[in-house]
Amino acid sequence: EAQVTQNPRYLITVTGKKLTVTCSQNMNHEYMSWYRQDPGLGLRQIYYSMNVEVTDKGDVPEGYKVSRKEKRNFPLILESPSPNQTSLYFCASSWSSNQPQHFGDGTRLSIL
């Protein structure tokens, strides 16, 4: 089954404690992306990757890092999480940037 898998689905942690949200897709897609979703603001792009070892900032990259060492994985790293990063996060993938994206089911992060 074609899917985008995110882990964990839920996480409560404290300010400053580094965390990583993993994202894996099994469709051999080249394009992957991370979004955060906040009430009233919709989905905003954090980072995206056009292919292995190619990553670019989206609209809200501050406080986040990503890596793309292999095609299927695109982890999102919060080196020093802060409460304003409390949000619902989605990973997505597609064949290219101008094709419909497949989304994971989301990761709810709460930073205390």
What is the contact surface with other proteins in residues (CB under 8 A)? Answer: 4, 33, 35, 37, 39-45, 48, 50, 56, 59, 88, 90, 92, 97-98, 100-106, 108
Q: How far is the CB of 63 from other proteins (least distance, A)?
A: 20
Q: How far is the CB of 81 from other proteins (least distance, A)?
A: 20
Nearer to other proteins, 24 or 33 (CB): 33
Check if the beta carbon of residue 60 is closer than 8 Å to that of residue 44. yes
Distance CA 12, CA 85 (A): 12
Residue linked to tokens 């709810």: 108
Distance CA 52, CA 41 (A): 30
Nearer to other proteins, 58 or 63 (CB): 58
- Which tokens go with 28? 């051999």
